[in-house]
Amino acid sequence: MVIQYDTIRPIRFDNKKLYLIDQRVLPTKKTEIEYTSSAQVAAAIKDMVVRGAPAIGITAAYAVVLAAIQRYAEDSKNWKRLIQQDIQFLAESRPTAVNLFWALNKMQTHINNLQGDPFSPLKTVADDIHQQDIEANYTMGKIGAELIVQQSAAVLTHCNAGALATGGYGTALGVIRSAYADKKIIKVYADETRPWLQGARLTAWEMLQDNIPVTLIAESAAASLMQQGKISWVIVGADRIAANGDVANKIGTYGLAILARYHRVKFMVAAPTTTIDMNITQGQDIPIEQRSSDEVLHCSEHRVAAEGAQAWNPAFDVTPANLVDAIVTEKGFIENPNTIKIASLMSGGSNKI
Amino acid sequence: MVIQYDTIRPIRFDNKKLYLIDQRVLPTKKTEIEYTSSAQVAAAIKDMVVRGAPAIGITAAYAVVLAAIQRYAEDSKNWKRLIQQDIQFLAESRPTAVNLFWALNKMQTHINNLQGDPFSPLKTVADDIHQQDIEANYTMGKIGAELIVQQSAAVLTHCNAGALATGGYGTALGVIRSAYADKKIIKVYADETRPWLQGARLTAWEMLQDNIPVTLIAESAAASLMQQGKISWVIVGADRIAANGDVANKIGTYGLAILARYHRVKFMVAAPTTTIDMNITQGQDIPIEQRSSDEVLHCSEHRVAAEGAQAWNPAFDVTPANLVDAIVTEKGFIENPNTIKIASLMSGGSNKI
């Protein structure tokens, strides 16, 4: 039996305002920031107040609602034209997670067909995106847990693909939550995930809230962990999956996939189909965000590197499909992904293709 | 032409006192700490005021000199018996770097044969250990640079195997210094090396002092760096090399070796023969130090991880010989190391065996 339960929700829309848990300061402080304009929200996405591909998509959808409220109040005749710059500004906030563009496209399509005050109908669309993401996570949790045939396994996850990265429950952490509830997983190792420490700050915090035992490691210890036979699976999320099954995800994912294959550890990617970009043929075409070198030169707000040193700080890497054992989505899972299997999955294929 | 030049020296003995640069606070502060007792020095090794296998060996040799001064003053008849507990205490400071035990054994052998005041003869032995280490590094630098057949290569190093880890000049960084002077290397990438940040704090600082361009990366970016063809070699030091060529070195080295092999990047280990332990048949028999989880749960002195999280923090890992392309020592280099080649090298084989 797989137990499904509620988790923290990083995104909340209430009384024409958007509230985001500030993930920059977790777990030290748990604070919500209130947003009333889409420009503020675009800045929040860029600055990683909210992060994680599905969460960025949901946030952008609500930001479009805020923009529609403002533009319709400004000029109820021309608001559909005026809102284009808001949508464009949101689209420029971060380049890699495709859920952002998926959500903006979905909102745009509804805007095109609207008459009258856009608030209520657009909020309904954003709420649906939000709710469907949470439901997709529960479904993925169940499907992913079924793939773990080991009993009492330990697994490694990278970055934070949890409730905080989604509408709630999480993708990779959704699978881990479901498998833990089902006693298939009894221990979770989490990469601390430099430079932003999503693992140490967010994943550890989420797991502890649910009383799931979590042991942090420096990324550099992952190979030793596998060498010593301590884990059965690596389970991660995704920021964009190409049509051939190549996976863009947090920097370090590609290295973990190589190490997993070398040690015959299984490698699972859990992501909703909104993360699959059928317009991108292969992973090398996915735009990879380069972030400020300051993130590497500092740890939290404290300078750690020698003055004068430079840093290279790509936020994501691309894992080729041939290193992925399974992609789990709300529509089912595929093993050893390729173009044909992804296409079949997207058109509503069965659990196993 | 390979230029050899002087570098920072982390260890200094003057007027019956030992001075160590405090590597815990570099590069923010450059301070020396003065030591007059071997117990203090053992604590300094344990707490990583000084670190790096060759530097630990040299430091321990000077600590024995301090112990001899004290014990001979206390009881000139029984000092050789009394000093045994000092040597034992030093031996228990850190378990993995074999240079520590090599240096203590060498000092013990000289103690056994001493008559009268031990200070001057023992100081001479310690000075010799120190000086020979520096000379070994210059020799390794030259040999290692010759192995780099690429022109204008970029390389990746891990942790700090530099002047600060040795008597001076460095092992891996000695090779890099020599190859940079010879224009074979034009760019150095350095892993920041969590949790202790030897790369960000020490390696970057050393390279910048010598005007060698250095770009830091999070460990998680190493695979991407190789995938994009940005580096030709990974060059690291070692804490202990088994008789079959297996290499214990800073946690993360093993993973880099796998990634290097996967991407057809060459993998070089530079270490003096004092790091080779002919009494250890294979790497899995090398004792691996587990350090406090606090190192992972914090970054410098600042807590980063969620309260309640645990951490797994092995300080070293073991890279099997079959992933090593070359071991460079002051006695020459060997490619694709194995038991026969290591034995031949130790008995004074030629540069290429």
Of A144, A151, A150, A168, the C-alpha closest to A269 is: A144
Confidence of residue B68 (pLDDT cuts 50, 70, 90): very high
- What is the percent of chain B where pLDDT is above 90? 95
pLDDT digits (tens, 9 = 90+) for A121-150: 999 999 999 999 999 999 999 999 999 998
| Residue closest to B172 by CA, chosen among B234, B245, B109, B89 | B234
Would you say residue A117 has pLDDT above 90? yes
Set A191, A239, A277, A317: catalytic member = A239
Q: Is-cis flag, bond preceding B118, omega within 30?
A: no
pLDDT at position A6 is: 86
- A30 vs B: CB within 8 A: no
Interface test with A, best of B8, B193, B216 (most A CBs within 10 A): B216
Is the CB of residue A224 less than 8 Å away from at least one CB of chain B? yes
Mean pLDDT of B302-321: 97
Nearest to B204 among A27, A251, A306 (CB): A306
Is B218 in Cβ contact with A219 (below 8 Å)? yes
- For B5-27, write each residue's pLDDT tens digit: 889 999 999 999 999 999 999 99
Q: How confident is the model at residue B2 (pLDDT cuts 50, 70, 90)?
A: very low
Q: Which residue has the tokens 């270490």?
A: B271
Nearest Cβ partner of A258 from B214, B258, B296?
A: B258
State how far the alpha carbon of B195 is from the alpha carbons of A3, A82, A187, A218, B114, in Å.
Answer: 36, 49, 22, 7, 43
To 5 degrees, how large is the angle CA B240–CA B241–CA B247? 95
Known catalytic residues of B are 239
Per-residue pLDDT tens for A143-156?
999 999 988 999 99
Confidence grade of residue B351 (pLDDT, cut at 50, 70, 90)? low
Name which of B267, B304, B317, B319 to mutate to probe chain A: the one with the most chain A Cβ atoms within 10 A of its Cβ.
Answer: B304
- The pLDDT tens digits of the residues spanning A37-61 come to 999 999 999 999 999 999 999 999 9
The values of phi and psi at residue B75, to 5°, are -160, 95
Q: Could A220 and B309 be called an inter-chain contact, meaning their C-beta atoms sit closer than 8 Å?
A: no
- Segment A62-80 mean pLDDT: 98
pLDDT average, residue stretch A260-274? 98
Could you tell me the CA-to-CA distances from B141 to A45, B51, B173, B256, B270 in Å, in that order?
A: 47, 20, 8, 21, 8
Q: Cβ A200–B262 below 8 Å, yes or no?
A: no
What ipTM was assigned to the predicted interfaces of this complex? 0.96
Supply the pLDDT for residue A300: 86
Lowest mean pLDDT among A174-188, A291-305, A339-353: A339-353
Confidence of residue A350 (pLDDT cuts 50, 70, 90): low
For the segment A324-332, the average pLDDT, to the nearest whole number, is: 98
Q: For residue B140, what are its two tokens? A: 């390794």
Task: Indicate if the pLDDT at residue B70 is higher than 70.
Answer: yes
At residue B258 the predicted structure's pLDDT band, cuts being 50, 70 and 90, is very high
Of B219, B309, B317, the CB nearest to A204: B309
Provide mean pLDDT across the span A17-37: 97
Element (H, E) at A14: strand A11-14
Whether B208 and chain A come into contact, CB under 8 Å, resolves to: yes
Interval B125-141 mean pLDDT:
98
Helix (H, G, I), strand (E, B) or coil at A214: strand
Above pLDDT 70, what percent of chain A?
A: 97
B220-244 tens-digit pLDDT: 999 999 999 999 999 999 999 999 9
Q: What's the Cα-to-Cα distance from B259 to each of A195, A297, B323, rounded to whole Å?
A: 20, 24, 10
- Give mean pLDDT, residues B79-88: 98
- Among B20, B29, B85, B23, smallest CA distance to B58 is for B20
Mean pLDDT over each residue of chain A, to the nearest integer: 96
pLDDT at A2 > cutoff 90:
no
Per 3-state DSSP, what percentage of chain A is helix, strand, and coil (rounded to 5)? Answer: 45, 20, 35
- What's the pLDDT score for residue A47? 97
Separation of alpha carbons A109 and A103, rounded Å: 10
Binding-face residues of A in 237-266 toward B, CB within 8 A? 250-252, 254-255, 258-259, 262
Rg (CA), chain A: 20
Minimum distance, in Å, between the CA of residue B20 and any CA atom of chain A: 20
The Cα of B131 is separated from the nearest Cα of chain A by a number of Å equal to 28
In this prediction, residues A199-224 reach a mean pLDDT of 97
Is the distance from CB of A164 to CB of A185 less than 8 angstroms?
no
Query: How far does A172 lie from chain B, in Å, by closest CA?
Result: 19
Average pLDDT of every residue of chain B: 96
What pLDDT sits at residue A150?
Answer: 87
Give the number of other Cβ atoms within 10 Å of residue B313's Cβ.
23
**Res A353: pLDDT:** 41
Is A325 catalytic? The answer is no
3-state SS string for A264-332:
CCEEEEECCHHHEECCCCCHHHCCCCECCCHHHHEECCEECCCCCCEECCECEEEECHHHCCEEEECCE
Q: Do A27 and B306 touch (CB under 8 A)?
A: yes
